[in-house]
Amino acid sequence: MSELKVMAQKALEAAGVAPGLDRDGAFATVWHETRGLDGLAMLVRDLDALSGLPTRIGERIDAGGLSALVVAPLVIDLAMVMDMELKVENIRSPFAAVAYATKRARDGRWFRLTWDDSEAIAAEGAATITRTDPDVATVLTVASGEGPPPAILAPALTAVELEKRCEHTLNDGLFLASDARKVLLEAANRVLVPASEGSRSGAGAEVDDNE
């Protein structure tokens, strides 16, 4: 889990994702992967859709083809602060938004996410999901509120089942598909500065002992 988190954050950083959002994207990758929801495959699939910023006009947001791995934190926080329903268009992998919504769903705050014919409710740090497969929707709707959350009828994955999956991963470890891991490692290594006389001489902190 730690290896995946580190590699994911480095890959996001190398792709030009802003500080903070790279950590959020890595969190979402690990959250999904530890629950058997293909977080690694989602990140690898979206490596070409991580750099940029969405645009907003009122309650409508154009993600510009960006992945929810980097757009979701902005949308979830905005929905919470503005207390309004937001519609995000031209978004990749909207399913990734579930992880961040779950992270923010605390102290009576809930989020309802819908994409295509799928739905997720995040409340009290957990999520209940009904979803399509594969995750090919390009429109995500985010609503937020306080108090008792809406209910999902006949969910495909309950909060209890998802947390059991996570507990199983914590006990038995996380096994990453070798091909996807190789792609992610190559993406993560792009964040490293190529070795040269200049890079070696500039390595380390620059400290003025007189300050």
Domain boundaries, the chain: 2-192
Q: Reduce the DSSP state of residue 132 to 3 states and report it.
A: coil
CA distance 70 to 4: 17
Half-sphere exposure of 119 (CA within 13 A, CB side): 10
Instruction: Say which amino acid occupies 61.
Output: I
What pLDDT score was predicted for residue 109? 95
The three-state (H, E, C) secondary structure of 25-54, written as one string: HHHHHHHHHHCCCCHHHHHHHCCCCCCCCC
What pTM was computed for the model? 0.87
User: Token match 């001489």: residue?
Assistant: 201
Residue 159: its H or E element: helix 159-172
pLDDT tens for each residue of 56-105: 998 999 999 999 999 999 999 999 998 889 999 999 999 999 999 999 99
User: What does DSSP say about strands 60-62 and 55-57: parallel, antiparallel, or unpaired?
Assistant: antiparallel
